[in-house]
Chain A
């Protein structure tokens, strides 16, 4: 067996060895979910990290959620993941966004205590049966030649020579592959501020034939809260009503924030501190012409503009210098000052992402009235890193080049903690399944944002770090954050990721929704005087004619509780008080689901119909070994793209850019021909 570029075979040296079923390398947001999922599925799992004190670190904003990202958290939670629970344990502020824009785009966003988050996640890992947590740096992989001709992973080797064997390895190394930090004119190797890069692994991946490319991202400066004039800021308080990410209510009671009052430098109201949960506000300030002038006159010193950084950065997370140049007509930009925790004076300057030299960073902040005397405690920086373009992955996140090697998180060219966690969850489940020879688990675009995310990654070319937006989901209405448990709990239960009790609650919720919908259709109100007067009393506009409860609920301004109350008054007055009401009392969450299915039935059905049509193609599996060169009828462009991306289904093939309906028709004929031929042989 050859010994290629840092990739060792099993027969190598190494006296010290341990055996696992699944190894996860990297304990960021992807790695944590992957390791927990695998261990919860009962696999003997090892999680390796370069630094046990950096587990689930939030090197950028300690914020979780928002549109699409909040949806991801709810889905991960429904699958039994940790990110939702851990956020509930450690947030110092939570809000519901997009409240007026439609039920499917409402999203939670929370601000976490950065240190508490890391410690709480570490604690969750330490409490997990079947999971070992160790500090080590990986230098190369163990592998052997598999039966199908491609290498099969057998484990990893650490810098100190330990060999850990496993059937599946999940690599979640984030920005650490050949990471390079850039501040102004200075650069240094590193994956995050204060931490060195990981150098050998990228070479090992290249030796396996995987293509590696480069992206960049950045982070803003952190400032000292004592040097902010809060009187010149506009406080942005958290929600005044209870909000949580997780369906697992134990996390709500398990708040893991440092005790006592928050750092006293932050101005807080009584409502902030003594509401349903103590919260800290964020503080809004704005840039001005002076700020922009400082930036413009120093552009030549920005590594983004002077060519020092070559990697491609994300458009949705531009640096302040980028914003000032591209939107020159804008006189002012928002800047949010966000406390990084309950008991820290470190404040994140959201919106001031930059890699300008340190003196310029200071000058531009001090041009803002509230920040005239500000001191920076950590400077902003840009980081350039290697990623593995994800067209090389199957939808299970297993690499096509190496059997048993799974990649998740920023290594796949994505950005965001939530995107990373979602991939980690799926890679963890799939690694666990693979380790026992079971078929892979892929979520459809109609089932979950997770499905949209991964399908996009393996199907569409990446031109910048990938961030999920709700507009990428074609069936957005079916992917509401609040219905994630209804959509995904069957899978979670089947894999052993949620317990009996939690699953039973989902089944009950589902049953309640269906029963209520049925009853709403059957329940008829006449327009008699007594009914109309009851309607008036509960705040329902006159019925006018005989109306079903369902039609009544269809009115935009009418809510379930009103209809249920009307039903009780009209139909229950003679019965004994303890009889079952004609329409059940529902929890707000269930009532909302019922309302939604009734009020927006037309739109929901329209999307469901589109899903049914698309599913025909999704159900047609393409053999992994299909030789596209042997289908001469395909147009050359289509043949090349299909051969490169190797779609798993005809549906996925149809989403590849440059593949036409005629190509798909030909592909269908060919797949069918192969299937028929195979049947004829057997």
Chain B
């Protein structure tokens, strides 16, 4: 198991330190020996000052990609010298205002400049191992690590289903194939195995690199990130749809942008959920009516619903299950919503519905079993837009559906997990280095060094270990045993 190659100490780690989706300000935390030397070149202050700012003080400036000159965000940065820091190592905290998406780009920049993505609970672990936390806190540290990992693992596995993992395995097998040819000729020089030439290896290495780069490009430009998730808020009148919309937007007020051209019938706004744009569409309703003006609104609502990736179906907790509620439910079922495991007539997977029982601040009278008769398995969240109760749980539920890949309408190859992206980036870098070694005409042994590393990086995502796989490939492809 080489996932611990980075070890737990000594190297410099980075992660977003603020919980996702809370407030406009986020922090990227960097800890370790190289924390200062990694961040300083990315940080530009007014006047061009380049020395290290005084320890433990917030300094204003911008985060700039030194290669492209692109400004990522205006930030406040604190450089904190050990040992008076959370981890007792040199720590840098970058406070950004640009929201989660920008924060992720800052983090990625830090990773590209030599930091390693922190494992779950690793800052706390370092704090403990460096004597910053006392013994009684050890149990708590272990709780944190195991809890976060369980959740993380589950999500990561779910994301890897389908085409992403197939593409990943294919890329890894391609690298492994090149490695097997090299290693077979090295380990069995007297067998009937030809020494591979650069010209035979290069195309396979380029293919693997292209596959990996495509996966990476998908991660950054995938439909989800480009277009966001179309989330339609539906329910009969007066259940609190608009206030739910506003409540969801409020938590991300800094980055709300009204979309031009919205009508009074469907209001569309964009919130940001863990880096994914959430297009919230408030509809006038989709129940039949005789009013010709409302008719137009209903058609628009229906069109909106049909194109939605996800539906938030809102009920009023304080009232009975009305005929209008029933009509909304029937209409949604007809449109093919909520059957998550089934494929609808047009070939698309059934789109999920989240049941939102609003107004829980008032006495409850909605019979839940009536709702459940229509939606036996849909996730259910109780909210109060008045008190704000349940809103973070709703965000969590949406995020889980999205990251689990269940709310995606197209089959674009998409890597959403930052850890996976980081592993892909490393794999791509190593392949690049291996190709450079090959071009320099160095012996095969040197080419294999970076190929091994690329294989390990990809194996960290797929959970496969190289050495057993490699021998398997060698023995299945080459007749060994002279």
Binding site for B on A (CB under 8 A): 66-68, 97-98, 100-105, 107, 109, 315-318, 323, 326-327, 330, 333-334, 336, 350-351, 353, 460, 469-472, 474, 476-477, 556, 600, 603, 606-607, 610, 612-614, 616-617, 631, 633-635, 654-662, 664-666, 668-670, 672-673, 676-677, 680
Known: A101-B443, A102-B444. Contact between A664 and B189, CB under 8 A?
no
Q: A474-B452, A616-B10 are in contact. Are A665 and B189 (CB under 8 A)?
A: no
Contact (Cβ within 8 A) B1 A101:
no
Residues of chain A lying within 8 A (CB to CB) of residue B8: 616-617, 661, 664-665, 668
CB–CB A617/B445 < 8 A: no
- Contact in complex: A101, B145 (CB < 8 Å): no
Q: How far is the CB of A73 from chain B (nearest CB, A)?
A: 16
Within 8 Å by CB of A656, from B1, B138, B183, B445, lies B1
Interface segment, one of B242-250, B367-375, B382-390, B467-475: B467-475
B475 CB → nearest A CB, Å: 4
Residues of B within 8 A of A327 (CB): 479
Known: A67-B189, A469-B187. A613 touches B11 (CB 8 A): yes
Determine the distance from Cα of A471 to Cα of B474 in the docked complex, in whole angstroms.
11
CB pair A655 B1 closer than 8 Å: yes
Question: Any chain A CB within 8 A of the CB of B264?
Answer: no
Q: Mind listing 5 A-B residue pairs with CB under 8 Å? A: A350-B482, A474-B452, A612-B10, A613-B6, A664-B8
Answer whether A633 and B1 are a contact pair too, CB < 8 Å, given A101-B443, A616-B8: no
Q: Flag the segment in B22-30, B119-127, B409-417 that touches A.
A: B119-127
Residue B299 at the chain A interface, CB threshold 8 Å: no
Report how far A320 CA is from B145 CA in the complex, Å. 52
Q: Is there contact, CB below 8 Å, between B145 and A666?
A: yes
* With A101-B444, A471-B470, A662-B146: A315-B475 Cβ-Cβ less than 8 Å: yes
A603 touches B480 (CB 8 A): no
Q: Are B480 and A669 in contact (CB under 8 A)?
A: no
- Do residues A669 and B445 form an inter-chain contact, with CB atoms below 8 A? no
- CB atoms of A323 and B479 under 8 A apart: yes
Please tell me which one of the listed residues A471, A556, A673 contacts residue B187 in the complex, with CB atoms under 8 A apart.
A471
Q: B333 in the interface, Cβ–Cβ < 8 Å?
A: no
Q: Is A471's CB under 8 angstroms from B183's CB?
A: yes
B433 to chain A, nearest CB (A): 9
For B128, give its contact among A109, A606, A672 (CB under 8 Å): A672
Please state if A614 and B195 are interface contacts (CB–CB under 8 Å): no
- Residues in B whose Cβ lies below 8 Å from that of A318: 479-481
Give A35 Cβ to nearest chain B Cβ, in Å.
31
Residues A657 and B465 in contact, CB atoms below 8 Å apart:
yes
Are the C-beta atoms of B5 and A614 separated by less than 8 Å?
Answer: yes
Contacts of B446 in A (CB 8 A): 102, 477, 600, 603
Closest 9 CB pairs of A and B: A102-B445, A102-B443, A662-B149, A654-B4, A633-B142, A315-B475, A471-B183, A97-B189, A633-B146
B129 within 8 A of A: yes
Residues of B within 8 A of A326 (CB): 479
A585 to chain B, nearest CB (A): 27
Chain A residues with Cβ below 8 Å from B296 are none
- Identify which of B442, B452, B470, B481 gathers the most chain A CB atoms within 10 Å of its CB: B481
B residues with a Cβ closer than 8 A to A are 1-11, 119-122, 125, 128-129, 135, 138, 141-143, 145-146, 148-149, 153, 183, 185-192, 195, 440-446, 448-449, 452, 465, 467-468, 470-471, 474-475, 479-482
Smallest CB–CB gap between B220 and chain A, Å?
25
Cα-based distance from A617 to B11 in the complex (angstroms): 12
Do A316 and B444 touch (CB < 8 A)? Answer: no
* Pair B7/A668 contact, Cβ less than 8 Å: no
Knowing A105-B186, A351-B481, A471-B471 are in contact, say whether A556-B135 is a contact too (CB < 8 A). no
- Cβ–Cβ < 8 Å partners of A316 in chain B: 188, 475, 480-481
Q: Which residues of A contact B143 (CB under 8 A)?
A: 633
Smallest Cβ-Cβ distance to A315: which chain B residue: B475
Given A101-B186, A616-B8, A655-B1, also A669-B142 (CB < 8 A): yes
Beta-carbon nearest neighbor of B138 in chain A: A673
- Contact call A333/B187, Cβ cutoff below 8 A: no
* Interface pair A665/B122, CB less than 8 Å apart: yes
Q: Complex: how many Å from CA A321 to CA B129?
A: 57
Of B9, B143, B153, B187, most A-chain CB atoms within 10 Å: B187
State whether A616 and B441 are in contact (beta carbons under 8 Å apart), knowing that A316-B481, A326-B479 are contacts in the complex: no
Contacts of B149 in A (CB 8 A): 660, 662
Complex Cα distance A327/B119, Å?
45
Query: Are the CB atoms of B135 and A334 closer together than 8 Å?
Result: no
Q: In the complex, A330 Cα to B477 Cα: how many Å?
A: 12
Contact of B186 among A98, A662, A673 (CB under 8 A): A98
Q: Is the CB of B9 within 8 A of A616?
A: yes
The interface residues of chain A lying within 8 Å CB-to-CB of B138 are 669-670, 672-673
Cβ B445 vs Cβ A676 within 8 A: no
Contact A101 B185 (CB under 8 A): yes
Q: For residue A635, which residues in chain B have a CB less than 8 angstroms away from its CB?
A: 146
Q: Are A333 and B192 in contact (CB under 8 A)?
A: yes
A623 to chain B, nearest CB (A): 16
Q: Are B481 and A67 in contact (CB under 8 A)?
A: no
Q: Which residues of chain B are within 8 angstroms of A102 by Cβ–Cβ distance?
A: 186, 442-446
A residues within 8 A CB of B445?
Answer: 101-105, 476-477
Check A664–B4 contact: CB distance below 8 A.
yes
User: In whole Å, how far is A444's beta carbon from the nearest beta carbon of chain B?
Assistant: 14
Closest to B142 in A: A633
B146, chain A: closest CB distance, angstroms: 4
B465 touches A556 (CB 8 A): no
Using known A-B contacts A323-B481, A474-B452, determine if residue A670 contacts B186 with beta carbons closer than 8 Å.
Answer: no
Instruction: Known A471-B470, A633-B145; judge A101-B480 contact (CB<8 A).
Output: no
Question: A659–B1 contact, CB under 8 A?
Answer: yes
CA distance A66 to B189 in the complex (A): 8
Contact between B129 and A330, CB atoms less than 8 A apart: no
**Besides A316-B480, A326-B479, A333-B479, 16 other A-B contacts (C-beta < 8 A):** A67-B188, A67-B189, A97-B189, A101-B443, A102-B442, A102-B444, A103-B445, A336-B190, A353-B481, A556-B441, A600-B442, A616-B10, A658-B1, A660-B3, A669-B128, A669-B138
* B residues less than 8 Å from A98 (CB atoms): 186, 189
- B residues within 8 A CB of A606? 449
B481 with A317: CB separation less than 8 A: yes
Decide: A472 near B467, CB < 8 A? Known: A606-B449, A665-B145.
Answer: yes
Tell whether, in the assembled complex, residue B479 and residue A471 are in contact, meaning their CB atoms are under 8 Å apart.
no
Quick check: A330 and B119 within 8 Å, CB to CB? no
Judging by beta carbons under 8 Å apart, are A607 and B449 in contact? yes
Chain B neighbourhood of A353, CB < 8 A: 481
CA distance A670 to B141 in the complex (A): 10
CB pair A334 B192 closer than 8 Å: yes
Q: Check A67 against B186 for contact (C-beta < 8 Å).
A: yes
Least distance between A349 CB and chain B CB atoms (Å): 11
- Bound-state CA distance A283–B10 (Å) is 55
Contact of A662 among B9, B145, B191, B465 (CB under 8 A): B145
**B190: chain A residues within 8 A (beta carbon):** 66, 97, 109, 336
Partner of B7, one of A556, A613, A670, A680: A613
Contact A470 B10 (CB under 8 A): no
Q: What is the CB-to-nearest-CB distance from B38 to chain A, in angstroms, rounded to a whole number?
A: 16
Chain B residues, CB < 8 A from A613: 5-7, 10-11
Nearest-Cβ distance from residue B457 to partner chain A, whole angstroms: 13
> Closest CB-CB distance, A469 to chain B, in whole Å?
4
Write out the residue numbers on chain B whose beta carbons fall within 8 Å of the beta carbon of A323.
Answer: 479, 481
Write the chain A residue with the least CB distance to B479.
A327
Most buried by B among A101, A326, A336: A101
Give A612 to B4 CA distance when docked, in angstroms. 13
Chain A residue numbers with a CB within 8 Å of B468 are 460
Complex: chain B residue closest to A677, CB-CB:
B135
Bound-state CA distance A316–B479 (Å) is 9
CB atoms of B135 and A676 under 8 A apart: yes
Q: In whole angstroms, what is the CA distance A317 to B474 when docked?
A: 13
Q: What are the residues of chain A within 8 A of B185 when measuring CB–CB? A: 101
